[in-house]
Structure 1
């Protein structure tokens, strides 16, 4: 095989759940092959870099093996090299505190509890 359609390859290596989803991602401009925007029929070859944006995150994959049909997960993982950088650690933020509309003004005790929840402990 000299090349495989990029939408078929993305589906075969289990980046998207369906071939239709892979085709739609290509049409929407969420797939790039070697830096260029890819149409669904764009061929990929071993060594090509494929960038796919799915579910709000971008994955960068280097083609190691061509697959035209969907295979098991271990075989699919062997067909690419994942170049995606590690996600930054999540920053923990205090929970947002809201009061019910019409609940009136908070009492002094409720206000202190709210400040403590927000991380602004005024007592110390």
Structure 2
């Protein structure tokens, strides 16, 4: 990282350089979509992050809280990109717990596959019995 990198960097460029997003356009879209927060408020793509700032990044099911350790406008390899930030301990624990819950919930939803012909008839009979006939409906 050169002295030029430490001057001023846009938030979307820093997120891209830290490898949170594959392109700057995706980083900008995430920021504009309200997925990046600083001190509980939404950010703008042109915001200039500073060392020590804390950002909350949401992506899909995951939400991570990161602290800026260094600034860079250049995208490098993953090991170098990880030196730009540190994820908080609470964030790591929260993500691991959420992943474990998703995994456990997914296992409970296994089925035996498609229903048999008999089971389909039973389902159809059950759904027909659940339909409510309104007295004011026209009879054919």
Q: How does the TM-score come out when normalised to structure 2?
A: 0.66
Determine whether 1:99 maps to 2:106: no
Quick one: which of 37, 41, 64 aligns to 1:36?
41
Task: Give the aligned partner of residue 30 of structure 2.
Answer: 25
* Superimposed CA distance per residue, residues 26-69 of structure 1 (whole angstroms, 9 cap, x where no aligned partner): 11010112322101111100000111112331121100000111
1:57 equivalenced with 2:57 (yes/no): no
Q: Which runs of 5+ in 2 are unaligned?
A: 1-5, 121-140
Distance, in Å, in 2 between the alignment partners of 1:93 and 1:29 is 33
Specify the SS of the correspondent of 2:75: coil
Which structure carries more helix by proportion?
Answer: 2
State the alpha-carbon separation in 1 of the partners of residues 16 and 53 from structure 2: 16
Q: Is the 8 A contact 1:33 1:44 kept in 2?
A: no
Unpaired runs of 5+ residues, structure 1, are 107-124
Higher share of residues assigned strand: 1
Taking only aligned residues, the RMSD between alpha carbons, in angstroms, comes to 1.9
**Runs of 4+, deviation exceeding 4 Å:** none
